[in-house]
């Protein structure tokens, strides 16, 4: 099987990348993480739209302490999971032949410590069941495209600063899902 992954890795601690196509052009310094005490956050972006995944990979890769992989589908994301601990998966809900909901559910079941963000196009989460469906599938948060870079950074930071609340939420969600599935 062909692995459709593009690597944009952040070298620990100094924000430089080993992929020369990533640069700081047009990205303000305020968008880069500066906390010396933060551990690296390994992120996988899953989107079948090459322009979206490439843009997110480059922009997230500018943030110090973010290690970013971008892939076109859930299968490629699952191939990367055993390579190193993945802290966050950001997935589009409407991927080509597969569903982002399925990716969320499988990630949630197979890798319960990995945080999950569901993203989708304008209007996807407004007054329809997609938001609840994504959360029920295991998403920790949902974000609607288009979104601001600062908004995405704030969302990611909030997921990693609320580990106690998140653990309690996951436990409650797991118990609720177990009751529903029985």
Please count the other Cβ atoms lying within 10 Å of the Cβ belonging to residue 130.
20
According to the model, what pLDDT value does residue 44 have? 97
Helix H or strand E encompassing 138: none
Q: Are 4 and 76 in contact (CB under 8 A)?
A: yes
- Which pair of tokens denotes residue 67? 């290690």
Domain ranges of the chain: 5-181
CATH of domain 5-181: 3.40.50.2300
Model pTM?
Answer: 0.71
| Residue-level pLDDT at 145 | 85
The pLDDT value recorded for residue 89 is 98
Strand partners, 43: 68, 88
Two tokens, residue 41: 């956050």
| Residue 48: count of CB within 10 angstroms of its CB | 18
Sign of CA dihedral 88, 90, 96, 102: positive
Number of other CB atoms surrounding residue 36 within 10 Å: 8
pLDDT value of residue 161? 77
Residue 173 vs residues 53, 118, 137, 169, 178: alpha-carbon distances, Å: 29, 16, 10, 6, 8
pLDDT tens for 91-110 read: 999 887 789 999 999 999 99
- Give the model's pLDDT for residue 31: 38
Q: What share of the chain is helix, strand, coil (3-state, %, to 5)?
A: 40, 20, 40
Structure confidence at residue 164 (pLDDT): 54
Tokens 């930071």 label which residue?
157
Rg of the chain, C-alpha, whole Å: 16
**Residue ranges, the chain, pLDDT below 50:** 1-37, 173-182
Alpha-carbon distance of 63 to 153, in angstroms, equals 9
Tokens of residue 145, six digits:
């495209």
pLDDT of residue 130: 85
Q: Are strands 115-120 and 141-144 parallel, antiparallel or unpaired?
A: parallel
């Amino acid at each position: 099987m062909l692995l459709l992954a593009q690597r944009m890795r952040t070298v620990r601690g100094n924000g430089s990348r080993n992929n020369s196509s990533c640069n700081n052009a047009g990205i303000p310094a305020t968008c880069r993480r500066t906390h010396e005490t933060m551990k690296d956050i390994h992120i996988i972006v899953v989107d079948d739209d090459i322009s979206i995944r490439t843009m997110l990979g480059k922009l997230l890769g500018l943030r110090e302490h973010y290690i970013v992989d971008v892939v076109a589908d859930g299968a490629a994301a699952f191939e990367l999971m055993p390579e190193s601990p993945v802290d966050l998966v950001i997935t589009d809900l409407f991927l080509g032949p597969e569903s982002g909901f399925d990716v969320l559910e499988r990630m949630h079941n197979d890798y319960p410590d990995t945080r999950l963000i569901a993203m989708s196009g304008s209007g996807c989460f407004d007054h329809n069941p997609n938001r609840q469906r994504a959360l029920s599938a295991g998403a920790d948060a949902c974000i609607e495209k288009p979104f601001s870079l600062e908004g995405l950074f704030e969302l990611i930071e909030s997921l990693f600063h609320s580990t106690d609340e998140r653990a309690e939420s996951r436990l409650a969600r797991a118990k609720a899902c177990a009751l529903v599935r029985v």
